[in-house]
């Protein structure tokens, strides 16, 4: 069931620990982050004014938007100042050397 909604993206080896990488899956801009051995996927568009986050700064689990410095937790998508403002999160899994991202059909 939910297996079907995972879509293959980049090779696992293309995303090293502590790195971010922008991908586009089914037209969606997604930022992949590997931190603490886990791969996280969040929307690559800042909800403030739409800047892409891939050129921001990653510290631990926080990515800072390069435009005006908003910080988001890649585990939850939460903007640190106002937790109700979030980036969309995408579940990721590594299989057969590739990172797969869950895209639900209604999104």
* DSSP code at position 19: -
Stretch that binds ligand FES, among 11-19, 66-74, 82-90, 98-106 (CB under 6 A): 66-74
**Other beta carbons within 10 Å of 83:** 11
Stretch that binds ligand FES, among 16-24, 32-40, 42-50, 96-104 (CB under 6 A): 42-50
Cα gap 11→27, rounded to integer Å: 19
Q: How near is the Cβ of 66 to ligand FES at its closest, in Å?
A: 8
Regarding 55 and contact with ligand FES (CB under 6 A), the answer is no
Cα gap 94→43, rounded to integer Å: 19
Sites of contact with ligand FES (CB under 6 A): 46, 48-49, 51, 65, 67-70
């Amino acid at each position: 069931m939910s297996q079907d909604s995972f879509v293959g993206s980049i090779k696992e080896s293309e995303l090293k620990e502590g790195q971010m990488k922008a991908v586009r899956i089914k037209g969606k801009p997604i930022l992949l982050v590997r931190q603490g051995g886990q791969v996280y996927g969040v929307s690559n568009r800042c909800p403030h004014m739409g800047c892409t986050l891939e050129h921001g700064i990653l510290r631990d689990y926080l990515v800072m938007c390069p435009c005006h410095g908003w910080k988001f937790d890649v585990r939850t998508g939460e903007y640190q100042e106002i937790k109700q403002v979030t980036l969309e999160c995408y579940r990721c899994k590594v299989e057969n050397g590739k990172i797969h991202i869950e895209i639900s059909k209604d999104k």
